[in-house]
Structure 1
């Protein structure tokens, strides 16, 4: 079954796609006509989401691959497999990420390095090895999920702030590299605030589901946290040719927090 939509014919590779934002973006792109490759350390979870997408939009729409985003050899393997499965790669979405909170005076160096490795090294490695496939599938789009925490700091999340700021700036450097190379491949970052995904589980454990949403929502000018589709819709726009003149930009999906 072929779906005519806003990204019909696109072939998207999405990291961290077994749940949360990654799964939401995979579903959204598939619903608008793209083939999608879901990559995750949780391969079984990625396979389950891919099977769900295939059931909804037809066999051969979605594929799943194991990927530890900190391992260069796994990026090389997963991208090669995805290229073969989809017949190319034209959209790359870096979504995998972690956060380890703590004071800069008390945080173990290993925790700092782990967050930087997962959040920043992954974008370097993925882009480095995806571009050879994307060159063959232009126009292309690289979408890097940063965070509003890459633009606004907190006292207790030094590696997350620093890593997401690095993703923001790396996205611009990639955009300029592709433009200098004469490639029709764009690179942009998305900066969400609190979104209703498993990353908020630690707050749910403390305050319960509704209590957590209310507490976090009070920090947002619009008065509530975001939904996964809020970010998925932003990714859909950046993946589509509707954003053909948008590169090196940051799209804030933050309910107005950064306007304060």
Structure 2
């Protein structure tokens, strides 16, 4: 059985487990060691279940617990060359871990992880497509300003996709952020809006993806009910109905132990 377990998801921390109850992979480690242990325990996952950490990019909300978690549990780290270099330069890694540059499909504990590039204001950000030992295809994709052909092609045909739905355009426009930050968030190297997320979900449903998780919601410029309603209402206009054509979960800032079962 394959489970998707979001430990945390927001503009302040992101970390996701994909695997069985005994073996799997962690994507990002934007969580402190105490909350990490608490989150695993809430889902009934022993720390030994995590076999490796794959890092999307070097921003602190994705790596603030990476050094301690990887060192304490002796976990190998995988990331792009640019991300690994940045982590070492910024002191986010002590350099004593087992570190791997991922630039092609890589197998860990029976999980085949294929990286793809995303457009974000980081050194070399990645998303990941994962084939599980039971052959489910899962997409992990956050922190991108737009959906490129590479991103879309990497996600098409997945059974389950975690996709960023970071901000509501009106909330961002009329919110309290300074202009430069609004421009950065809405740029091609920023984040996906609810609108962009909904448009991408439509294309993925056409490619036969049935289940989605909306991730990395801004704490200032979005709300779970807003992100959910935007995708649902947009898809209704395309004659795509919730429950018939797709299912959507909105990931919580902090999870209380709820896991999502993934099946082909």
Q: TM-score range by the shorter chain?
A: 0.3 to 0.5
TM norm structure 1: 0.43
Q: Which has the higher helix share?
A: 1
Q: Which has the higher strand share?
A: 2
